Structure 1
Amino acid sequence: MDKQNHLGNVRVVLSHTSHPGNIGAAARAMKTMGLRHLYLINPRHFPDPQADAMAAGADDILRNAVVCSSIDEALQGVVFTVAMTARLRDISIEVKTPREAMPELLQQAAQQPVAMLFGTEMSGLTNEEMGKAQVLVNIPTNPDFSSLNVAAAVQVMSYELSAAAQDFVPRVQEVQPASHEQVEGYFAHLEKVLFEIGFFTTQNPSRLMQRLRRLYARARPEAEEINILRGILSVTTEYNARLKKRYSEEHSDVQEH
Protein backbone atom coordinates (compact mmCIF):
# COMPACT_ATOMS: atom_id res chain seq x y z
CA MET A 1 0.00 0.00 0.00
CA ASP A 2 1.47 3.37 -0.96
CA LYS A 3 1.54 6.59 1.02
CA GLN A 4 -1.56 8.03 -0.63
CA ASN A 5 -3.62 4.95 0.26
CA HIS A 6 -2.60 5.33 3.89
CA LEU A 7 -3.53 9.01 3.96
CA GLY A 8 -6.80 8.42 2.11
CA ASN A 9 -8.35 7.00 5.28
CA VAL A 10 -7.42 10.03 7.42
CA ARG A 11 -10.01 12.68 8.30
CA VAL A 12 -9.13 16.11 9.63
CA VAL A 13 -12.00 17.17 11.90
CA LEU A 14 -12.35 20.81 13.00
CA SER A 15 -14.85 21.42 15.78
CA HIS A 16 -16.81 24.68 16.01
CA THR A 17 -14.31 26.78 14.09
CA SER A 18 -15.16 30.45 14.57
CA HIS A 19 -12.98 32.10 11.91
CA PRO A 20 -13.50 30.97 8.29
CA GLY A 21 -9.94 31.95 7.41
CA ASN A 22 -8.69 29.17 9.66
CA ILE A 23 -10.74 26.63 7.72
CA GLY A 24 -9.17 27.77 4.46
CA ALA A 25 -5.67 27.78 5.94
CA ALA A 26 -6.24 24.29 7.37
CA ALA A 27 -7.36 23.07 3.93
CA ARG A 28 -4.17 24.48 2.40
CA ALA A 29 -2.07 22.80 5.11
CA MET A 30 -3.79 19.50 4.41
CA LYS A 31 -3.31 19.62 0.66
CA THR A 32 0.41 20.38 0.93
CA MET A 33 0.82 17.11 2.85
CA GLY A 34 -1.47 14.91 0.76
CA LEU A 35 -4.56 14.90 2.99
CA ARG A 36 -7.96 15.54 1.42
CA HIS A 37 -10.81 14.66 3.79
CA LEU A 38 -11.97 17.68 5.82
CA TYR A 39 -14.89 17.44 8.27
CA LEU A 40 -16.35 20.53 9.96
CA ILE A 41 -18.51 20.36 13.08
CA ASN A 42 -20.86 23.34 13.27
CA PRO A 43 -18.51 25.98 11.79
CA ARG A 44 -19.67 29.51 12.52
CA HIS A 45 -19.15 30.70 8.92
CA PHE A 46 -18.88 28.25 6.04
CA PRO A 47 -18.82 28.46 3.06
CA ASP A 48 -17.16 31.88 3.20
CA PRO A 49 -14.99 34.05 0.92
CA GLN A 50 -12.29 34.27 3.60
CA ALA A 51 -12.00 30.50 3.65
CA ASP A 52 -11.64 30.47 -0.13
CA ALA A 53 -8.96 33.17 -0.01
CA MET A 54 -6.88 31.44 2.67
CA ALA A 55 -7.15 28.06 0.93
CA ALA A 56 -4.90 29.45 -1.83
CA GLY A 57 -5.46 26.65 -4.32
CA ALA A 58 -6.94 24.05 -1.98
CA ASP A 59 -10.46 24.91 -3.14
CA ASP A 60 -11.21 21.26 -3.87
CA ILE A 61 -10.69 20.43 -0.18
CA LEU A 62 -13.26 23.08 0.76
CA ARG A 63 -15.75 21.99 -1.92
CA ASN A 64 -15.66 18.42 -0.67
CA ALA A 65 -15.66 19.30 3.04
CA VAL A 66 -18.33 17.48 5.05
CA VAL A 67 -20.27 19.76 7.41
CA CYS A 68 -21.63 17.88 10.45
CA SER A 69 -23.97 18.83 13.25
CA SER A 70 -22.26 16.70 15.91
CA ILE A 71 -18.96 15.05 16.72
CA ASP A 72 -20.57 11.62 16.50
CA GLU A 73 -21.62 12.38 12.92
CA ALA A 74 -18.09 13.49 12.04
CA LEU A 75 -16.54 10.35 13.56
CA GLN A 76 -19.01 7.86 12.09
CA GLY A 77 -17.13 4.79 10.86
CA VAL A 78 -13.85 5.88 12.45
CA VAL A 79 -11.93 3.25 14.43
CA PHE A 80 -9.19 5.45 15.90
CA THR A 81 -9.15 9.15 16.85
CA VAL A 82 -6.33 11.35 18.07
CA ALA A 83 -7.43 14.61 19.66
CA MET A 84 -5.33 17.73 20.07
CA THR A 85 -4.92 19.22 23.53
CA ALA A 86 -2.84 21.95 25.13
CA ARG A 87 -3.84 20.79 28.61
CA LEU A 88 -1.73 18.18 30.35
CA ARG A 89 -3.14 18.28 33.88
CA ASP A 90 -5.98 16.10 35.13
CA ILE A 91 -5.89 13.94 32.03
CA SER A 92 -5.59 10.17 32.32
CA ILE A 93 -5.97 9.39 28.62
CA GLU A 94 -2.59 8.71 27.07
CA VAL A 95 -0.92 11.90 25.82
CA LYS A 96 1.70 11.66 23.06
CA THR A 97 3.68 13.95 20.81
CA PRO A 98 2.72 14.05 17.11
CA ARG A 99 5.81 12.03 16.23
CA GLU A 100 4.87 9.31 18.72
CA ALA A 101 1.21 9.16 17.71
CA MET A 102 1.37 9.22 13.91
CA PRO A 103 2.71 5.67 13.32
CA GLU A 104 -0.17 4.31 15.40
CA LEU A 105 -2.66 6.42 13.45
CA LEU A 106 -1.19 5.12 10.18
CA GLN A 107 -1.40 1.51 11.38
CA GLN A 108 -5.14 1.89 11.91
CA ALA A 109 -5.54 3.92 8.68
CA ALA A 110 -4.09 1.03 6.68
CA GLN A 111 -7.50 -0.64 6.84
CA GLN A 112 -10.21 1.74 8.09
CA PRO A 113 -11.02 5.45 8.62
CA VAL A 114 -9.22 7.37 11.35
CA ALA A 115 -9.44 10.99 12.50
CA MET A 116 -7.37 13.87 13.78
CA LEU A 117 -9.61 16.08 15.92
CA PHE A 118 -8.99 19.80 16.49
CA GLY A 119 -10.94 22.13 18.79
CA THR A 120 -12.18 25.67 18.55
CA GLU A 121 -9.70 28.57 18.46
CA MET A 122 -10.49 30.03 21.88
CA SER A 123 -10.88 27.01 24.15
CA GLY A 124 -9.85 23.92 22.22
CA LEU A 125 -11.75 20.68 22.64
CA THR A 126 -14.27 20.08 25.41
CA ASN A 127 -13.84 17.22 27.88
CA GLU A 128 -16.69 15.43 26.13
CA GLU A 129 -14.98 15.76 22.75
CA MET A 130 -11.65 14.55 24.14
CA GLY A 131 -13.49 11.60 25.63
CA LYS A 132 -14.28 10.39 22.10
CA ALA A 133 -10.55 9.91 21.34
CA GLN A 134 -8.25 6.97 22.00
CA VAL A 135 -5.10 9.10 22.23
CA LEU A 136 -4.50 12.77 23.01
CA VAL A 137 -1.72 14.64 21.21
CA ASN A 138 0.15 17.64 22.53
CA ILE A 139 2.46 19.66 20.28
CA PRO A 140 5.53 20.65 22.32
CA THR A 141 5.75 24.46 22.35
CA ASN A 142 7.42 27.28 24.21
CA PRO A 143 5.94 27.05 27.73
CA ASP A 144 5.96 30.85 27.95
CA PHE A 145 3.94 31.16 24.73
CA SER A 146 2.09 27.96 23.96
CA SER A 147 -0.77 29.42 21.90
CA LEU A 148 -0.91 27.72 18.50
CA ASN A 149 -3.31 28.69 15.71
CA VAL A 150 -5.60 25.83 14.71
CA ALA A 151 -4.43 25.92 11.08
CA ALA A 152 -0.80 25.84 12.28
CA ALA A 153 -1.64 22.81 14.42
CA VAL A 154 -3.16 21.11 11.37
CA GLN A 155 0.04 21.88 9.44
CA VAL A 156 2.27 20.38 12.14
CA MET A 157 0.14 17.25 12.46
CA SER A 158 -0.18 16.83 8.69
CA TYR A 159 3.59 17.14 8.25
CA GLU A 160 4.32 14.59 10.97
CA LEU A 161 1.77 12.22 9.44
CA SER A 162 3.23 12.65 5.96
CA ALA A 163 6.76 12.13 7.25
CA ALA A 164 5.74 8.98 9.13
CA ALA A 165 4.05 7.63 5.99
CA GLN A 166 7.23 7.81 3.88
CA ASP A 167 8.66 4.47 4.93
CA PHE A 168 5.69 3.07 6.80
CA VAL A 169 4.91 -0.64 6.47
CA PRO A 170 1.71 -1.69 8.29
CA ARG A 171 1.69 -4.70 10.55
CA VAL A 172 -0.65 -7.55 9.74
CA GLN A 173 -3.83 -6.81 11.69
CA GLU A 174 -6.12 -9.77 12.21
CA VAL A 175 -8.49 -8.20 14.73
CA GLN A 176 -11.34 -5.85 13.83
CA PRO A 177 -11.19 -2.60 15.85
CA ALA A 178 -14.51 -1.34 17.18
CA SER A 179 -15.91 1.61 15.24
CA HIS A 180 -16.79 4.93 16.86
CA GLU A 181 -20.52 4.19 16.75
CA GLN A 182 -20.02 0.72 18.25
CA VAL A 183 -18.10 2.21 21.16
CA GLU A 184 -20.64 5.00 21.64
CA GLY A 185 -23.48 2.49 21.54
CA TYR A 186 -21.73 0.53 24.27
CA PHE A 187 -21.30 3.61 26.47
CA ALA A 188 -24.98 4.52 26.10
CA HIS A 189 -25.92 0.93 27.00
CA LEU A 190 -23.49 0.88 29.96
CA GLU A 191 -24.80 4.16 31.40
CA LYS A 192 -28.41 2.96 31.08
CA VAL A 193 -27.66 -0.31 32.90
CA LEU A 194 -25.69 1.42 35.67
CA PHE A 195 -28.71 3.64 36.28
CA GLU A 196 -31.04 0.62 36.31
CA ILE A 197 -29.04 -1.30 38.91
CA GLY A 198 -28.61 1.76 41.13
CA PHE A 199 -24.87 2.09 40.74
CA PHE A 200 -25.01 5.88 40.47
CA THR A 201 -26.67 6.31 43.88
CA THR A 202 -23.46 7.59 45.48
CA GLN A 203 -21.59 8.49 42.30
CA ASN A 204 -21.43 11.52 40.02
CA PRO A 205 -22.71 9.95 36.75
CA SER A 206 -20.96 12.30 34.33
CA ARG A 207 -17.62 12.13 36.11
CA LEU A 208 -17.77 8.37 36.45
CA MET A 209 -18.65 7.91 32.78
CA GLN A 210 -15.74 10.17 31.82
CA ARG A 211 -13.38 7.98 33.84
CA LEU A 212 -14.83 4.84 32.28
CA ARG A 213 -14.27 6.35 28.83
CA ARG A 214 -10.63 6.88 29.71
CA LEU A 215 -10.33 3.28 30.87
CA TYR A 216 -11.76 1.92 27.63
CA ALA A 217 -9.66 4.34 25.56
CA ARG A 218 -6.58 2.72 27.06
CA ALA A 219 -7.98 -0.78 26.46
CA ARG A 220 -9.09 -0.06 22.85
CA PRO A 221 -11.63 -2.88 22.60
CA GLU A 222 -12.16 -4.82 19.40
CA ALA A 223 -15.55 -5.09 17.73
CA GLU A 224 -16.09 -8.62 19.06
CA GLU A 225 -15.13 -7.53 22.58
CA ILE A 226 -17.74 -4.75 22.44
CA ASN A 227 -20.33 -7.39 21.49
CA ILE A 228 -19.29 -9.51 24.49
CA LEU A 229 -19.51 -6.54 26.86
CA ARG A 230 -22.95 -5.60 25.58
CA GLY A 231 -24.05 -9.20 26.01
CA ILE A 232 -22.97 -9.01 29.66
CA LEU A 233 -25.00 -5.80 30.06
CA SER A 234 -28.08 -7.42 28.52
CA VAL A 235 -27.86 -10.39 30.90
CA THR A 236 -27.37 -7.96 33.81
CA THR A 237 -30.57 -6.14 32.82
CA GLU A 238 -32.51 -9.42 32.61
CA TYR A 239 -31.18 -10.60 35.98
CA ASN A 240 -32.03 -7.27 37.61
CA ALA A 241 -35.57 -7.45 36.20
CA ARG A 242 -36.02 -10.96 37.64
CA LEU A 243 -34.80 -9.81 41.06
CA LYS A 244 -37.23 -6.87 41.03
CA LYS A 245 -40.11 -9.14 40.02
CA ARG A 246 -39.29 -11.65 42.76
CA TYR A 247 -38.99 -8.90 45.36
CA SER A 248 -42.33 -7.44 44.28
CA GLU A 249 -44.07 -10.84 44.45
CA GLU A 250 -42.61 -11.65 47.86
CA HIS A 251 -43.66 -8.34 49.36
CA SER A 252 -47.06 -8.63 47.75
CA ASP A 253 -47.56 -11.95 49.57
CA VAL A 254 -46.50 -10.39 52.89
CA GLN A 255 -48.99 -7.53 52.52
CA GLU A 256 -51.85 -9.94 51.72
CA HIS A 257 -51.20 -11.84 54.94
Structure 2
Amino acid sequence: MTGPAPLCVVLVEPAGPLNVGSVARLCANFAVHDLRLVTPRCDPSDPDALRMAVHGRSVLTSARIYPTLLAAVSDCSRVVATAGRLDHGTIPLGPPEAVLPWAISGSGQQPIALVFGREDHGLTNAELLLSQRVITLHSSDTYPSLNLSHAVAVVLHDIARLQTGPSPHAEPVLVSPETPETEPAGPKALEACLDDAEELLLEVGFLMKHTARARMAKVRGLLQRGLIRADEVALLRGMVRQMRWAVRHHRL
Protein backbone atom coordinates (compact mmCIF):
# COMPACT_ATOMS: atom_id res chain seq x y z
CA MET A 1 0.00 0.00 0.00
CA THR A 2 1.36 3.40 -0.93
CA GLY A 3 1.97 5.75 1.99
CA PRO A 4 1.54 9.52 2.18
CA ALA A 5 3.72 11.57 -0.14
CA PRO A 6 6.75 13.26 1.46
CA LEU A 7 6.69 16.99 2.12
CA CYS A 8 9.27 19.54 1.04
CA VAL A 9 9.51 23.16 2.17
CA VAL A 10 10.57 25.63 -0.53
CA LEU A 11 11.82 29.12 0.36
CA VAL A 12 12.03 31.60 -2.51
CA GLU A 13 14.92 34.09 -2.20
CA PRO A 14 15.10 34.08 1.61
CA ALA A 15 17.16 37.04 2.82
CA GLY A 16 17.61 36.39 6.53
CA PRO A 17 19.93 33.67 7.86
CA LEU A 18 17.97 33.69 11.12
CA ASN A 19 14.79 32.82 9.21
CA VAL A 20 16.49 30.10 7.17
CA GLY A 21 17.91 28.51 10.30
CA SER A 22 14.56 28.76 12.07
CA VAL A 23 12.80 27.08 9.14
CA ALA A 24 15.36 24.25 9.21
CA ARG A 25 14.57 23.76 12.90
CA LEU A 26 10.84 23.73 12.14
CA CYS A 27 11.39 21.11 9.46
CA ALA A 28 13.10 18.93 12.06
CA ASN A 29 10.28 19.61 14.54
CA PHE A 30 7.72 18.31 12.07
CA ALA A 31 9.78 15.51 10.47
CA VAL A 32 10.27 17.26 7.13
CA HIS A 33 13.68 16.36 5.75
CA ASP A 34 13.61 18.19 2.41
CA LEU A 35 14.38 21.93 2.49
CA ARG A 36 14.81 23.68 -0.87
CA LEU A 37 16.11 27.22 -1.38
CA VAL A 38 15.51 29.22 -4.56
CA THR A 39 18.37 31.69 -5.17
CA PRO A 40 18.78 32.55 -1.48
CA ARG A 41 19.89 36.11 -0.73
CA CYS A 42 21.81 34.94 2.32
CA ASP A 43 24.36 32.24 3.04
CA PRO A 44 22.62 29.11 4.42
CA SER A 45 25.86 28.22 6.22
CA ASP A 46 25.96 31.59 8.00
CA PRO A 47 26.70 31.14 11.74
CA ASP A 48 23.36 32.77 12.60
CA ALA A 49 21.52 30.23 10.45
CA LEU A 50 23.39 27.34 12.03
CA ARG A 51 22.72 28.71 15.51
CA MET A 52 18.99 29.04 14.90
CA ALA A 53 18.73 25.58 13.32
CA VAL A 54 19.66 23.91 16.64
CA HIS A 55 18.80 20.21 16.09
CA GLY A 56 17.74 20.93 12.52
CA ARG A 57 21.31 21.50 11.33
CA SER A 58 21.28 18.34 9.23
CA VAL A 59 18.22 19.68 7.39
CA LEU A 60 19.99 23.01 6.84
CA THR A 61 23.29 21.55 5.65
CA SER A 62 21.52 19.19 3.23
CA ALA A 63 19.24 21.90 1.80
CA ARG A 64 19.36 22.07 -1.99
CA ILE A 65 19.64 25.33 -3.92
CA TYR A 66 17.77 25.93 -7.19
CA PRO A 67 17.95 28.73 -9.78
CA THR A 68 14.16 29.06 -10.23
CA LEU A 69 10.97 28.05 -8.47
CA LEU A 70 9.98 25.89 -11.44
CA ALA A 71 13.22 23.93 -11.09
CA ALA A 72 12.64 23.53 -7.36
CA VAL A 73 9.16 22.02 -7.74
CA SER A 74 9.57 20.19 -11.05
CA ASP A 75 9.51 16.76 -9.36
CA CYS A 76 6.53 17.53 -7.10
CA SER A 77 3.04 16.13 -7.62
CA ARG A 78 1.26 18.90 -5.72
CA VAL A 79 2.38 22.47 -5.14
CA VAL A 80 0.79 24.70 -2.51
CA ALA A 81 1.97 28.30 -2.26
CA THR A 82 1.35 30.87 0.46
CA ALA A 83 0.34 34.50 0.04
CA GLY A 84 -0.19 37.23 2.60
CA ARG A 85 -0.66 40.06 0.09
CA LEU A 86 -4.00 41.44 -1.00
CA ASP A 87 -2.88 42.51 -4.50
CA HIS A 88 -2.97 39.01 -5.98
CA GLY A 89 -5.22 39.86 -8.91
CA THR A 90 -7.58 37.07 -9.92
CA ILE A 91 -5.62 34.27 -8.22
CA PRO A 92 -8.01 32.58 -5.75
CA LEU A 93 -6.79 32.19 -2.17
CA GLY A 94 -8.03 29.60 0.31
CA PRO A 95 -7.69 29.19 4.08
CA PRO A 96 -5.53 26.34 5.41
CA GLU A 97 -8.54 24.25 6.42
CA ALA A 98 -9.76 24.27 2.81
CA VAL A 99 -6.41 23.73 1.06
CA LEU A 100 -4.24 21.55 3.30
CA PRO A 101 -6.52 18.48 3.49
CA TRP A 102 -6.37 18.31 -0.32
CA ALA A 103 -2.61 18.89 -0.32
CA ILE A 104 -1.78 15.98 1.97
CA SER A 105 -4.36 13.56 0.56
CA GLY A 106 -2.00 12.57 -2.24
CA SER A 107 0.14 9.46 -2.05
CA GLY A 108 3.24 8.10 -3.74
CA GLN A 109 6.89 9.01 -3.98
CA GLN A 110 6.62 12.45 -5.59
CA PRO A 111 6.92 15.21 -2.97
CA ILE A 112 4.28 17.74 -2.02
CA ALA A 113 5.79 21.23 -2.11
CA LEU A 114 4.95 23.97 0.39
CA VAL A 115 6.21 27.23 -1.11
CA PHE A 116 6.94 30.38 0.90
CA GLY A 117 7.93 33.74 -0.57
CA ARG A 118 10.37 36.51 0.17
CA GLU A 119 10.33 38.24 3.53
CA ASP A 120 9.79 41.66 1.96
CA HIS A 121 7.23 41.02 -0.80
CA GLY A 122 6.26 37.36 -0.89
CA LEU A 123 5.71 35.52 -4.17
CA THR A 124 5.02 37.13 -7.52
CA ASN A 125 1.77 36.32 -9.33
CA ALA A 126 3.78 34.35 -11.89
CA GLU A 127 5.23 32.23 -9.06
CA LEU A 128 1.81 31.74 -7.47
CA LEU A 129 0.52 30.44 -10.80
CA LEU A 130 3.02 27.55 -10.64
CA SER A 131 0.98 26.11 -7.76
CA GLN A 132 -2.36 24.32 -7.90
CA ARG A 133 -3.59 25.95 -4.69
CA VAL A 134 -2.67 29.10 -2.72
CA ILE A 135 -3.08 29.49 1.04
CA THR A 136 -3.68 32.68 2.94
CA LEU A 137 -3.49 32.49 6.72
CA HIS A 138 -6.04 33.94 9.12
CA SER A 139 -4.10 37.11 9.87
CA SER A 140 -5.45 40.65 10.13
CA ASP A 141 -6.42 42.38 6.89
CA THR A 142 -4.60 45.48 8.11
CA TYR A 143 -1.29 43.58 8.45
CA PRO A 144 -1.59 40.17 6.76
CA SER A 145 2.10 39.29 6.25
CA LEU A 146 3.67 37.01 8.84
CA ASN A 147 7.35 36.55 9.52
CA LEU A 148 8.65 33.84 7.17
CA SER A 149 9.47 31.28 9.84
CA HIS A 150 6.19 31.97 11.66
CA ALA A 151 4.22 31.27 8.48
CA VAL A 152 6.11 28.00 8.00
CA ALA A 153 5.36 27.06 11.62
CA VAL A 154 1.62 27.64 11.20
CA VAL A 155 1.39 25.60 8.00
CA LEU A 156 3.49 22.68 9.26
CA HIS A 157 1.56 22.59 12.53
CA ASP A 158 -1.76 22.49 10.67
CA ILE A 159 -0.49 19.66 8.48
CA ALA A 160 0.74 17.70 11.50
CA ARG A 161 -2.65 18.16 13.16
CA LEU A 162 -4.42 16.83 10.07
CA GLN A 163 -2.05 13.87 9.73
CA THR A 164 -2.30 12.80 13.36
CA GLY A 165 -6.05 13.33 13.58
CA PRO A 166 -8.17 15.94 15.32
CA SER A 167 -8.57 16.22 19.05
CA PRO A 168 -11.73 14.63 20.56
CA HIS A 169 -13.36 18.07 20.74
CA ALA A 170 -12.49 19.26 17.21
CA GLU A 171 -14.93 19.51 14.36
CA PRO A 172 -14.30 16.81 11.71
CA VAL A 173 -12.46 17.83 8.55
CA LEU A 174 -13.82 16.26 5.36
CA VAL A 175 -11.20 15.31 2.80
CA SER A 176 -12.16 14.25 -0.69
CA PRO A 177 -10.65 10.87 -1.61
CA GLU A 178 -7.88 10.98 -4.17
CA THR A 179 -6.46 8.23 -6.34
CA PRO A 180 -3.26 8.20 -8.42
CA GLU A 181 -5.44 8.65 -11.53
CA THR A 182 -6.63 12.04 -10.27
CA GLU A 183 -3.23 13.42 -9.32
CA PRO A 184 -2.70 16.83 -10.93
CA ALA A 185 -0.04 17.32 -13.55
CA GLY A 186 3.35 18.43 -12.33
CA PRO A 187 4.51 22.02 -12.91
CA LYS A 188 7.22 21.03 -15.40
CA ALA A 189 4.83 19.15 -17.71
CA LEU A 190 2.22 21.90 -17.55
CA GLU A 191 4.78 24.61 -18.25
CA ALA A 192 6.08 22.73 -21.31
CA CYS A 193 2.53 22.33 -22.65
CA LEU A 194 1.79 26.03 -22.14
CA ASP A 195 5.05 27.02 -23.86
CA ASP A 196 3.98 24.97 -26.91
CA ALA A 197 0.49 26.49 -26.80
CA GLU A 198 1.84 30.03 -26.56
CA GLU A 199 4.10 29.45 -29.57
CA LEU A 200 1.16 28.16 -31.63
CA LEU A 201 -1.17 30.97 -30.56
CA LEU A 202 1.45 33.57 -31.45
CA GLU A 203 1.89 31.97 -34.88
CA VAL A 204 -1.83 31.99 -35.69
CA GLY A 205 -2.32 35.53 -34.41
CA PHE A 206 -4.52 34.74 -31.42
CA LEU A 207 -1.85 36.17 -29.10
CA MET A 208 0.22 39.30 -29.52
CA LYS A 209 3.67 39.54 -27.98
CA HIS A 210 2.76 42.48 -25.77
CA THR A 211 -0.29 40.69 -24.26
CA ALA A 212 0.83 37.05 -24.46
CA ARG A 213 2.18 36.87 -20.92
CA ALA A 214 -1.02 38.13 -19.29
CA ARG A 215 -3.33 35.99 -21.41
CA MET A 216 -1.30 32.82 -20.90
CA ALA A 217 -1.31 33.50 -17.15
CA LYS A 218 -5.11 33.29 -17.30
CA VAL A 219 -4.91 29.98 -19.16
CA ARG A 220 -2.41 28.64 -16.62
CA GLY A 221 -4.65 29.69 -13.74
CA LEU A 222 -7.66 28.02 -15.36
CA LEU A 223 -5.81 24.70 -15.77
CA GLN A 224 -4.34 24.83 -12.27
CA ARG A 225 -7.71 25.49 -10.65
CA GLY A 226 -9.15 22.59 -12.61
CA LEU A 227 -6.35 20.30 -11.34
CA ILE A 228 -5.58 19.09 -14.85
CA ARG A 229 -4.04 15.62 -14.84
CA ALA A 230 -0.77 14.50 -16.41
CA ASP A 231 -2.54 12.43 -19.07
CA GLU A 232 -4.77 15.41 -19.91
CA VAL A 233 -1.74 17.67 -20.27
CA ALA A 234 -0.17 15.11 -22.59
CA LEU A 235 -3.37 15.05 -24.66
CA LEU A 236 -3.47 18.85 -24.91
CA ARG A 237 0.20 19.05 -25.82
CA GLY A 238 -0.27 16.45 -28.54
CA MET A 239 -3.20 18.43 -29.96
CA VAL A 240 -1.19 21.68 -29.89
CA ARG A 241 1.80 20.11 -31.62
CA GLN A 242 -0.37 18.55 -34.32
CA MET A 243 -2.10 21.87 -34.97
CA ARG A 244 1.24 23.65 -35.13
CA TRP A 245 2.52 21.10 -37.66
CA ALA A 246 -0.65 21.55 -39.74
CA VAL A 247 -0.33 25.35 -39.67
CA ARG A 248 3.30 25.23 -40.76
CA HIS A 249 2.48 22.81 -43.58
CA HIS A 250 -0.71 24.64 -44.62
CA ARG A 251 -2.92 21.63 -43.90
CA LEU A 252 -5.70 23.66 -42.19
TM-score, normalization: structure 1?
0.86
Change (3 A) 1:121 1:100: same
* Structure-1 residue corresponding to 2:93: 95
Change (3 A) 1:58 1:90: closer
Deviation at 1:99, TM superposition (A): 2.1
1:80 corresponds to 2:78? yes
Q: Which amino acid aligns with 2:195?
A: A
In the alignment, structure 2 segments of 5+ residues that lack a partner are 167-174
Tell me the alpha carbon deviations over residues 108-165 of structure 1, each in whole angstroms, 9 at most, x when there is no partner: 2555311011110000001111110111100111233323100000000000011111
* Structure-1 residue corresponding to 2:199: 192
SS of residue matched to 1:38:
strand
CA RMSD of aligned residues (A): 2.3
Q: Which amino acid aligns with 1:21?
A: L
Q: Which amino acid aligns with 1:184?
A: E
Structure 1, 159-168 or 231-240: larger mean CA deviation: 159-168
SS of residue matched to 1:83:
strand
* Map 1:156-167 → 2, pairs under 5 A: 156-167=154-165
Select 1:173's aligned residue among 171, 176, 179.
179
Deviation at 1:9, TM superposition (A): 1.3
Kept in 1, the 8 Å contact 2:132–2:227? The answer is yes
Larger radius of gyration: 1
Structure 1, 175-184 or 211-220: larger mean CA deviation: 175-184
SS of residue matched to 1:56:
helix
Deviation at 1:171, TM superposition (A): 3.4
Number of residue pairs the alignment of both structures matches: 242
Q: Percent identity?
A: 27
* Structure-2 residue corresponding to 1:54: 52
* Structure-1 residue corresponding to 2:169: none
CA distance in 1, matches of 2:221, 2:142: 29
* Structure-2 residue corresponding to 1:16: 13
* Structure-2 residue corresponding to 1:32: 29
CA distance in 2, matches of 1:76, 1:64: 19
Q: Which amino acid aligns with 1:171?
A: P
Change (3 A) 1:93 1:145: closer
Kept in 1, the 8 Å contact 2:24–2:53? The answer is yes
CA distance in 2, matches of 1:11, 1:179: 15
Q: Answer 1 or 2: which has greater helix percent.
A: 1
Deviation at 1:11, TM superposition (A): 0.9
CA distance in 1, matches of 2:120, 2:58: 27
* Structure-1 residue corresponding to 2:123: 125
CA distance in 1, matches of 2:132, 2:178: 20
Deviation at 1:91, TM superposition (A): 3.4
Tell me the alpha carbon deviations over residues 175-212 of structure 1, each in whole angstroms, 9 at most, x when there is no partner: 15322211111111111111111111497111101111
Select 1:219's aligned residue among 226, 230, 249.
226
SS of residue matched to 1:123:
coil
